[in-house]
Amino acid sequence: MTDSRRYHITTFGCQMNKADSERMAGILEEMGFEWSEAPEQADLVLYNTCTIRDNAEQKVYSYLGRQAKRKHEQPNLTLIVAGCVAQQEGEALLRRVPELDLVMGPQHANRLRDLLEQVFDGNQVVATEPVHIFEDITKPRRDSTVTAWVNVIYGCNERCTYCVVPNVRGVEQSRLPEAIRAEMAQLGRQGFKEVTLLGQNIDAYGRDLPGTTPAGRHQHTLTDLLYYVHDVPGIERIRFATSHPRYFTERLIRACAELPKVCEHFHIPFQSGDNDVLKAMARGYTREKYLRIIETVRQYMPDAAISADAIVGFPGETEAQFENTLKLVEEIGFDQLNTAAYSPRPGTPAAVWENQLSEDVKADRLQRLNHLVATKAAERSQRYLGRVEKVLVEDQNPKDPTQVMGRTGGNRLTFCTGDIAKLKGCIIPVKITTVRAFSLTGDRVEMPVAGATC
Ligand code: SF4
């Protein structure tokens, strides 16, 4: 394979897709490909897709249309669709875009080299059959040199009635704790300071793993994993996402309070504040249980940052049920809340239910929820004013080169004056002078602060 070919990857969707794209980029670079910032300059174009909502799915088709036209002028162009739309559509995608060379589901990300060799032998390839995800040895081409994604569990065994993830990402497959620790140790040696442990339903980590934990416990859990990887040298901060209220235990909360490297930021989607809607969603908890979880988190870590996801306009959702969602948001006061209008997804139970709501009703509820979210986030941000926060510097502020930017332990984006060449990867004390709903600005504090690293 000639070594001057260039590749471009466009990634849609969640952190899991971003992590998959980093690994696929690593495989392509090992095969001799070079990154091309401009897709139109690339000899290989890969779209790593998302199908969580219809608008996410539709995005890729417009991109593909352009590349398919290009392929007629440039037959050597290699065109790939990966990720959740690839898994959902499979062969149908080849009929829709016959110019495609490879359609590969998320479980096949590590197999990109084998699949491409079949393509270079002149085949059109579809790889969507369920496979056991083998431990990946590739060297991901990571987007950051400071923070890194580390997969701990793939797939999801839940059956939320609106969600397409189990259909496209398959059953839960947990990585061995030793493999996760080895990857984190390598990251620590490479100078990374923060790791986010990833899973669609991360609190289910380990329930599919046989045998005992390295500490001899009979059941692997996320809590055990946090204790097991906490002392990896070089890694200063550990985050994890995405949690599920059904499995979010007090034992996990206590561990997070006890382990200093674990950031006090929890992403726990609640989806609806109404028990009947939660039942119809098959989420497996009640608003009361959710409120107790947040209460317990705040008992152990009063300043913890809480973020979540919420869906409005689920089939059959009444105005009163929607108002229960607003009441929950009012009561908890989230630091951040990702909101979306319900979107019927292929192969999910709720998509065929009679009681679908109109787009107008959904849009109205989304707008009202977003307004409340911004108001509450601005209130929550006030607590930072005048405080000294430890910020891990990740980058230069793209809007102001005299400033650097990074995140507090509570995952708040923060800006302050500084030289990125000197401060990148440092945890610096910053006195907060300006607060906004979703970000902060402050002045670097010269005095030494515990946990600061430069
Ligand atoms: S827990 Fe539910 S919403 Fe989350 S990925 Fe699994 S099925 Fe989807």
Query: Tens digits of per-residue pLDDT, 196-220?
Result: 999 999 999 999 998 777 777 767 8
Task: Domain count for the chain, please give it.
Answer: 3
Specify if 136 maps to a domain. Answer: no
β-bridge partners, 79: 45
- CA 199 to chain CA centroid, Å, is 8
| Alpha carbon of 156 to ligand 1 centroid (Å) | 6
Specify if 141 maps to a domain. Answer: no
Residue, of 392 and 135, whose pLDDT is higher: 392
Which of 17, 165, 272 is the best mutation target for the ligand 1 pocket, counting ligand atoms within 8 Å of the beta carbon and taking the most?
A: 165
| Alpha carbon of 337 to ligand 1 centroid (Å) | 17
Residue, of 57 and 433, whose pLDDT is higher: 433
Residue 136 is predicted with a pLDDT of: 64
Q: pLDDT confidence of 3, banded at 50, 70, 90?
A: low
Residue bearing the CA closest to ligand 1, atom 2: 160
Tokens in use for 404?
A: 């650097």
pLDDT 10s digits, 74-116: 999 999 999 999 999 999 999 999 999 999 999 999 999 999 9
Specify if 390 maps to a domain. Answer: yes
Domain finish residue from 76, 92, 127: 127
Q: pLDDT confidence of 29, banded at 50, 70, 90?
A: very high
Q: pLDDT confidence of 449, banded at 50, 70, 90?
A: low
CB 310 within 8 A of CB 328: no
Measured from the CA of 201, which atom of ligand 1 is nearest? 1
| Alpha carbon of 51 to ligand 1 centroid (Å) | 13
Measured from the CA of 157, which atom of ligand 1 is nearest? 6
| Alpha carbon of 167 to ligand 1 centroid (Å) | 10
Instruction: Clarify whether residues 121 and 163 are in a common domain.
Output: no
| Alpha carbon of 14 to ligand 1 centroid (Å) | 13
Residues in contact with ligand 1 by the CB-under-6-Å rule are 156, 158, 160, 163, 165-166, 200-201, 244
| Alpha carbon of 282 to ligand 1 centroid (Å) | 10
Averaged over 329-344, what is the pLDDT?
97
Specify if 173 maps to a domain. Answer: yes
Residue whose C-alpha is closest to residue 101's, from 84, 115, 87, 83 = 115
Domain finish residue from 127, 160, 176: 127
Instruction: Clarify whether residues 254 and 215 are in a common domain.
Output: yes
Instruction: Clarify whether residues 322 and 276 are in a common domain.
Output: yes
Residue 2 is predicted with a pLDDT of: 47
CB 200 within 8 A of CB 159: no
Contacts of 122 (CB under 8 A, 6+ apart): none
CATH number where 46 lies: 3.40.50.12160
Instruction: Clarify whether residues 50 and 26 are in a common domain.
Output: yes
Residue, of 139 and 292, whose pLDDT is higher: 292
| Alpha carbon of 336 to ligand 1 centroid (Å) | 19
Instruction: Clarify whether residues 123 and 175 are in a common domain.
Output: no
Averaged over 391-400, what is the pLDDT?
97
Averaged over 187-198, what is the pLDDT?
97
Which of 51, 153, 244 is the best mutation target for the ligand 1 pocket, counting ligand atoms within 8 Å of the beta carbon and taking the most?
A: 244
Specify if 337 maps to a domain. Answer: yes
Instruction: Clarify whether residues 359 and 219 are in a common domain.
Output: yes
Specify if 231 maps to a domain. Answer: yes
| Alpha carbon of 273 to ligand 1 centroid (Å) | 17
> 107: domain range?
6-127
Mean pLDDT of the chain: 94
Which of 156, 205, 243, 246 is the best mutation target for the ligand 1 pocket, counting ligand atoms within 8 Å of the beta carbon and taking the most?
A: 156
Torsion sign across C-alpha atoms 34, 40, 43, 48: positive
Does residue 1 have a pLDDT over 60?
no
349 SS3 class: helix
Residue 58 is predicted with a pLDDT of: 86
Averaged over 351-361, what is the pLDDT?
97
Averaged over 402-427, what is the pLDDT?
97
pLDDT 10s digits, 244-289: 999 999 999 999 999 999 999 999 999 999 999 999 999 999 999 9
Helix (H) or strand (E) holding 444: strand 439-444
Contacts of 442 (CB under 8 A, 6+ apart): 389, 391, 414, 415, 416, 430, 431, 432, 433, 434
Task: Give the angle 208-209-210 at the CA atoms, nearest 5°.
Answer: 120
Torsion sign across C-alpha atoms 446, 453, 417, 437: negative
CATH number where 402 lies: 2.40.50.140
Instruction: Clarify whether residues 357 and 396 are in a common domain.
Output: no
CATH number where 321 lies: 3.80.30.20
Which of 52, 163, 164, 278 is the best mutation target for the ligand 1 pocket, counting ligand atoms within 8 Å of the beta carbon and taking the most?
A: 163
Residue bearing the CA closest to ligand 1, atom 8: 163
| Alpha carbon of 124 to ligand 1 centroid (Å) | 32
| Alpha carbon of 243 to ligand 1 centroid (Å) | 10
Residue 210 is predicted with a pLDDT of: 84
Instruction: Clarify whether residues 70 and 30 are in a common domain.
Output: yes
Which of 154, 168, 201 is the best mutation target for the ligand 1 pocket, counting ligand atoms within 8 Å of the beta carbon and taking the most?
A: 201
Percent of the chain with pLDDT over 90: 90
Instruction: Clarify whether residues 121 and 179 are in a common domain.
Output: no
Does residue 132 have a pLDDT over 70?
yes
Instruction: Clarify whether residues 184 and 308 are in a common domain.
Output: yes
Averaged over 27-48, what is the pLDDT?
96
Specify if 140 maps to a domain. Answer: no
Specify if 449 maps to a domain. Answer: no
Domain finish residue from 356, 383, 410: 383
Instruction: Clarify whether residues 151 and 78 are in a common domain.
Output: no
Instruction: Clarify whether residues 73 and 200 are in a common domain.
Output: no
Does residue 237 have a pLDDT over 80?
yes
